[in-house]
Amino acid sequence: MEHPKSGADGDGLLVIHVALYRMATRSFAEAYRILGYKTHHGTEDLLGNPWVGIEQAVEATWPDIPHARPRPRFTRQDWDALWGDEYDIVTDLACPFSDQLIAAYPKAKIIVVQRDFESWWASYQAGVLDHIFPRRQWLTVWLIRNVLRSRAADAMIKVNYGLFNATNMAGIKDNARKTYDEYYRNIRERIPAERRLEYTMGDGWEPLCAFLGKKVPDLPFPRLNDSAYRKRSQQAGEMVVFLTSAKKLARLALAIGAVSMAFWHMSI
């Protein structure tokens, strides 16, 4: 069972989960919770994520990406404010900042998860890029940005520009393989083998629990990334955006109607 996070000890993040988006991060989030860690997984609460802080972290990391505002590099205090004061582990949204988080939390254990490039890239394009660049999801992106006033779409677009050293979708695709290779090579060159676990998807609980010093749970390792589950999650996320937008627009329409009626009464 997940325990409440206490900032009194000042430990911050206890585990750095090193994996790119679309590498079973949802399954790992559930696994970490079963082991008792307070875990943040971004796609579970699209509108509730700290998007402003994430966007600032991106701009501080990659100041030359399109539409970035100059910001100082994030410090341990900044990372604590974003995640470390409340969570033990961040699965997906922390992936662009793995090297900074490893430096900020030197006592944290490091778990590296990697799937082969070809299957990952196909999943990444369908599961990430097609949902944040407006070509296919233009209405959802427009509602998030203009009705809900959320920085979710803008933050994720900037994440991808920075992560892939690109300024458009074509650049992201051109740099995909290089980004993938460099991401994992940099981590392995920096972090000694004894400080990290190289986890292969399908290994189950045993290597993870041995590395973290946890008892092996008496239940199967979570598997929440099959295509049917992803489709249901995507539809649920879009429905949240549409319903929240509809409620906000309805309130706005009522307010405009009330003001219009007041002016009409004043004019007669």
pLDDT given at position 127? 83
DSSP state of 147: I
Q: DSSP for 104-143?
A: H-TT-EEEEE---HHHHHHHHIIIIIHHHSHHHHHHHHHI
| Contact (CB, 8 A) for 144 and 49 | no
Does the pTM surpass 0.85? The reply is no
pLDDT given at position 154? 85
Could you confirm whether domain 7-267 is CATH 1.10.260.30? no
- The neighbour count for residue 11, using CB atoms within 10 Å, is 14
User: Structural domain boundaries of the chain?
Assistant: 7-267
pLDDT given at position 146? 56
pLDDT given at position 47? 67
pLDDT given at position 267? 36
Q: How far apart are CA 145 and CA 165, in angstroms?
A: 24
pLDDT given at position 153? 80
Residue 219's Cβ-count burial label (10 Å; 0-12, 13-18, 19+) is exposed
Q: What is the pLDDT along the chain (268 residues), one digit of tens a residue?
A: 455 454 445 689 999 999 999 999 999 999 999 999 999 998 776 667 788 999 999 999 999 999 999 999 999 999 999 999 999 999 999 999 999 999 999 999 999 999 999 999 999 998 889 878 765 555 665 566 656 656 788 889 999 999 999 999 999 999 999 999 999 999 999 999 989 999 999 999 999 999 999 999 999 999 886 555 445 545 544 554 445 545 554 543 333 333 333 333 333 4
Tell me if residue 151 falls in helix, strand or coil.
coil
Tell me if residue 174 falls in helix, strand or coil.
helix
pLDDT given at position 84? 94
